[in-house]
Amino acid sequence: MAIPERLRYARERSGLTGAQVKDRTRIGQSSLSEFESGKREPSLSQLQALARAYRRSVAFFLSDQPIPREMVLWRERPAESAEEVEAHFLRLCEQYRNLEVWCNERASGRLPDAEGTAEEFDYAAAQALAIRVRGELQLGDRPGHELLRVLEELCGVKVFHQDFEPTGTAASAKSESFGDAILLNASSVRWRRNFDLAHELFHLLTWRIFRSEKDASSCVASPREEKLATCFAHSVLMPADTTRAAIDIRARDGKVSLEALFDIARQFDVSVEALLWKIHFLYNRGPEQEDETRREVDRARALAPVLEEREREDTKPPLRPERYRALAVKALRRGEISIGRFAEYLGISRQAAMTYVEQEIEDDEEVPIAPV
């Protein structure tokens, strides 16, 4: 694609109107129309302004390669500003990839691919996949405490946190250029984010099973796929044997108190609602008891302010993960990026970026690990 087509594509993917582009770039709508029709070319400064507005790199518009296929899969796509959220997410993924390349530090591990077809993939397959993932990633008996770190540091999954509505949704993306990525809602408490992380992990693992080349650039998973993802998330975060043992040790006469359930949920770093539904399936409570489980979930939500031992006003996670920020600092110190680009990548002012280079470190400074 030439520059005009790429400009039009980027604007449409960002969801911005011509008037909104004018407000953000001070480029008139008539000029923008001429750029997109190829009647005249934008100057470098205008191209840079458009790149910032569309959350793209200037290199994207100058490339002669085919545009990479970009798809964001939502549990529930935001009703407002979805395109801007997606554009920001994909831009962060691209920047993360650039930092890995500049620092020559691509993650050594990778996610296992699920096998099968969409038609034959069922709950048993989702549970089997969860068991396989827990084993291959060595997540232990209480995976909720390790999942994010393992996915980011060992598997190279790019996990970002952003505020968007509705709060009970999340997204994932897979690309040949940047790999696997997940977008979580920063407004959710940590244990809700844990569940969303495991839920979106299912979509990444089964991407080639449920996604086709004809899918739209952004889409919403089907209800059936979402149910399978929920089953997978339950199985990953709450291993059957370990969860049953934790429940049975607190049970009396075939019942367990809500207070005990909150303690167990805290141990696995999941919500008590998720734990109650795990119990529903773990102890073979049939469809006729679903209404009873829903009432128990409602009761648990009502008592959460009293029985929840974890801080509900959980500190919001930063937009960019620790590994991303560490790579940015490393790239700056190695001279791979400028102060201006470093500030852009971290979303900080140029003045704040200067503090990262004020303290010099010798390139050959080392720490001995054994007696010489």
Q: What is the pLDDT of residues 223-244, one digit of tens each?
A: 999 999 999 999 999 999 999 9
CA distance to 128, 157, 177, 308, per residue, from 174 (Å): 22, 10, 9, 36
Does residue 106 register a pLDDT over 70? yes
DSSP secondary-structure letter at 81?
A: S
- Terminal-to-terminal C-alpha distance of the chain: 59
How many Å apart are CA 61 and CA 42, to the nearest integer? 11
316 has pLDDT over 90: no
Query: What pLDDT is stored for residue 199 in this prediction?
Result: 97
The answer, yes or no, to whether residue 100 has pLDDT greater than 80, is yes
The DSSP letter of residue 287 is G
pLDDT at position 319 over 90: yes
| Contact call for residues 219 and 113 (beta carbons, < 8 A) | no
Confidence category of residue 177, pLDDT binned at 50, 70, 90: confident
> What pLDDT sits at residue 213?
58
CB-based contacts of 75: which residues, under 8 Å, 6+ apart? Answer: 168, 169, 170, 171, 199, 200, 220, 221, 226
Contact call for residues 235 and 225 (beta carbons, < 8 A):
no
pLDDT for 236 equals 97
Q: Is the pTM of this model over 0.75?
A: yes
Inter-residue contact 109 to 156 (CB < 8 Å): yes
Over residues 281-313, the pLDDT tens digits come to 899 888 888 899 999 999 988 888 877 766 555
Max CA-CA distance within the chain? 80
**Region 124-151 average pLDDT:** 95
| pLDDT recorded at residue 367 | 73
Over 90: is that where the pLDDT of 159 sits?
yes
How far CA 4 is from CA of 38, 68, 158, 258, 339, in Å, comes to 5, 17, 31, 61, 30
- The torsion angle over the Cα atoms of residues 303, 309, 311 and 317, rounded to 10 degrees, is -110
Domains and CATH numbers, the chain: 3-67 (1.10.260.40), 92-236 (1.10.10.2910), 240-307 (no CATH), 322-354 (no CATH)
Q: What residues have CB less than 8 Å from 208, skipping those under 6 apart?
A: 113
Helix segments in the chain, DSSP class H? 3-14, 18-25, 29-37, 44-54, 58-62, 82-103, 123-136, 147-149, 190-205, 207-210, 223-237, 240-248, 258-268, 272-282, 290-307, 322-333, 339-346, 350-354
